[in-house]
């Protein structure tokens, strides 16, 4: 180690002494301050505020643009999620199926006769071409409103009511009820043959998948359903549930309006009068009155018959009167169909026994010595009636405890049963010594 010169040693000693004094001075100052104050002074440099750099206009624009893009992405995602979950939500939270009830026809109360007074001869106004025009316009208004309750049922892939070869491609249906889940359409069951999927076309032209709710092959009737969730608001505004009238009070000469596909194409309308109410069509276990009109129709055409109040009085069906039916619109009376219609609307099978018969009137009972009731004219092959042993010539007098006096009361008693029920039927059968009592146990079926 190099030895310091005398001058360097003096400077070194002075520096050491000076450093010692400064350290003592610093220690003395620290002794006068509290630990907290010393700690705060030690971290004074951390309390400095660093101001951010001011954003430029471009940077502000970019941030706003990013926020808008993020918001758009979130909104689109929420929208897509909503539409994806909408069908599930509608199925999960849809209304429960409600029972459909068709009001019974009100009995017409005949007014009390008033004292006869001489009435002045009626003054018949002079009719002109304008008068005829006004009449036709008023009829068209009724037909246009009635058209809102019409729906055309086509087999999936079918192009219309009649194709170029004349084959049936669809039927005219009537919107009759809403059970909470489906809009129910009533009509002919001819469109059910060789089809598994159907389409309903409403008055605004919108098309919706339809399902077969229930059908009755015995009467040739069916009910189709369209999911309410599939019907949009604009379609709801264009359609309506039909008002069913009382066809029992319709008489010959009443003005009627035919709406539907009776001319072989959809959206047809025709005006005319009831030409006859003297006919009926027969099927197993009942019959239905036929309203004959002078309105033209093509073979296979279907439609709905309305009165001047816009109420339904009949469902047009081809072949109701055989050869006399050709070229004219004839309809099943709506009042006679209401009990069976209500069963189909509620997805209940129409009970089937398989008997055709005629009423034993008082006059016939006296002349032939026959008991009153329903005289059996035919028993359907392989029907529940045949299996139970009922024969032609038997007279049915009671069905499940309900008295039978003729065709109408027999049909009503059968419809009050349930398909699959074991039903007691009582009657009379002609033997060697006259009519004797016979009892049958019939297991009712259905023709679907």
The DSSP result for 423-447, as a single string, is EEEEEEEEETTEEEEEEEEEE-B--
Q: pLDDT at position 70, please?
A: 77
Torsion angle defined by CA atoms of residues 35, 38, 40 and 43, in that order, rounded to the nearest 10 degrees: -130
- Whole-number CA gyration radius for the chain: 44
- Residue 195 CA to its chain's centroid (Å): 20
Task: Encode pLDDT of 283-321 as tens digits.
Answer: 999 999 999 999 999 988 999 999 999 999 999 988 888
Token pair belonging to 414: 């059968």
- Write down the domain spans for the chain: 135-238, 247-342, 355-443
| Both structure tokens of 72 | 């758009």
Judged by phi (left if over 0) then psi (alpha if -120 to 50, else beta), residue 249 lies in alpha
CA distances from 415 to 202, 352, 445 (A): 32, 8, 12
278: which 2 tokens? 């003297």
Q: How far apart are CA 160 and CA 225, in angstroms?
A: 19
Instruction: State the pTM of this model.
Output: 0.75
Q: Which whole-number Å values give the CA distances from 180 to 13, 104, 230, in the listed order?
A: 109, 22, 13
What integer pLDDT is reported at residue 21 of this predicted model?
Answer: 52
Matching fold, domains 135-238 and 247-342: yes
Q: Which residues contact 315 (CB under 8 A, 6 or more apart)?
A: 174, 186, 187, 188, 304, 305, 331, 332, 334, 337
Instruction: Compute φ and ψ for 218, nearest 5 degrees.
Output: -70, -45
The CATH number for 135-238, chosen from 2.40.10.10, 3.40.50.1360, 2.40.128.260, 1.20.140.10, is: 2.40.10.10
C-alpha 278/C-alpha 14 separation (Å) is: 146
Residues 6+ positions from 263 with CB-CB distance below 8 Å? 270, 296, 297, 298, 301
Q: Residues 355-443: name the CATH superfamily.
A: PDZ domain (2.30.42.10)
Which residue spans within 27-75 are E strands per DSSP?
A: none
For CA atoms 136, 138, 143, 144, the dihedral sign is positive
With a cut of 70, which residues of the chain have pLDDT below it? 1-55, 78-96, 107-119, 158-169
What distance separates the 2 farthest-apart alpha carbons in the chain?
A: 171
Token pair 């008295």 is at which residue?
403
Q: What is the DSSP letter of 149?
A: G
Alpha helix (H) ranges present in 173-299? 233-238
- CA 308 and chain centroid, separation: 26
Considering only CA atoms, which of 346, 355, 345, 420 is closest in space to residue 383? 355
| Strand ranges in 55-206 using DSSP code E only, listed in sequence order | 150-155, 170-178, 182-188, 198-201
Rounded Cα gap, residues 297 and 323, in angstroms: 13
pLDDT of residue 326: 75
240 and 149 Cβ atoms separated by less than 8 Å: yes
Select from 298, 157, 282 the least CA-distant residue to 220: 282
How long is the chain? 448
DSSP 162: B
Asked whether the beta carbons of 405 and 373 are under 8 A apart, the reply is yes
Question: Given CA atoms 74, 77, 83, 85 in this order, what sign does their dihedral have?
Answer: negative
For residues 304 and 327, give the distance between their C-alpha atoms in angstroms, rounded to a whole number: 16
Q: What is the pLDDT of residue 30?
A: 47
- Classify domain 247-342 by CATH architecture: Beta Barrel (2.40)
Q: What is the DSSP letter of 204?
A: T
């Amino acid at each position: 180690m190099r030895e310091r010169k005398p001058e360097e040693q003096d400077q070194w000693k002075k520096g050491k002494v000076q450093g010692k004094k400064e350290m003592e001075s610093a220690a003395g100052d620290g002794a006068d301050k509290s630990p907290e104050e010393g700690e705060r002074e030690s971290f004074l440099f951390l309390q400095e505020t660093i101001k951010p750099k001011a954003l430029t206009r471009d940077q502000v624009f970019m941030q706003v643009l990013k926020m808008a893009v993020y918001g758009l992405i979130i909104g689109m995602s929420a929208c897509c999620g909503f539409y994806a979950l909408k069908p599930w939500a509608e199925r999960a939270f849809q209304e429960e199926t409600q029972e459909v009830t068709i009001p019974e026809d009100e009995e017409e109360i005949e007014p009390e006769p008033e004292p006869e007074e001489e009435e002045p001869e009626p003054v018949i106004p002079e009719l002109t071409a304008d008068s005829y025009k006004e009449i036709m316009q008023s009829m068209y208004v009724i037909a246009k409103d009635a058209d809102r309750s019409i729906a055309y049922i086509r087999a999936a892939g079918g192009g219309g009511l009649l194709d170029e070869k004349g084959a049936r491609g669809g039927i005219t249906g009537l919107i009759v009820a809403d059970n909470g889940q489906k809009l129910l359409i009533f009509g002919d069951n001819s469109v059910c043959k060789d089809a598994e999927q159907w389409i309903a076309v409403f008055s605004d032209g919108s098309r919706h998948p339809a399902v077969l709710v229930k059908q009755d092959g015995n009467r040739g009737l069916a009910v189709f359903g369209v999911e309410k969730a599939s019907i949009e608001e604009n379609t709801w505004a264009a359609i309506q549930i039909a008002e069913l009238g009382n066809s029992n009070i319709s008489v010959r000469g009443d003005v009627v309006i035919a709406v539907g596909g009776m001319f072989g194409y959809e959206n047809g309308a025709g005006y005319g009068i009831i030409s006859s109410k003297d006919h009926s069509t027969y099927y197993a276990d009942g019959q239905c009155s036929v309203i004959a009109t002078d309105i033209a129709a093509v073979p296979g055409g279907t439609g709905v018959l309305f009165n001047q109040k816009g109420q339904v009085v009949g469902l047009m069906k081809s072949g109701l009167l055989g050869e006399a039916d050709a070229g004219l619109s004839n309809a099943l009376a709506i009042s006679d169909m209401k009990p069976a219609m209500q069963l189909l609307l509620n997805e209940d099978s129409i009970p089937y026994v398989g008997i055709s018969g005629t009423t034993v009137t008082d006059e016939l009972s006296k002349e032939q010595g026959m008991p009153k009731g329903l005289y059996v004219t035919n028993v359907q092959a392989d029907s529940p009636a045949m299996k139970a042993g009922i024969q032609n010539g038997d007279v049915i007098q009671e069905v499940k405890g309900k008295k039978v006096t003729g065709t109408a009361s027999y049909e009503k008693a059968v419809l009050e049963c349930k398909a699959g029920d074991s039903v007691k039927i009582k009657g009379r059968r002609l033997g060697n010594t006259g009519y004797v009592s016979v009892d049958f146990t019939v297991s009712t079926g259905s023709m679907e």
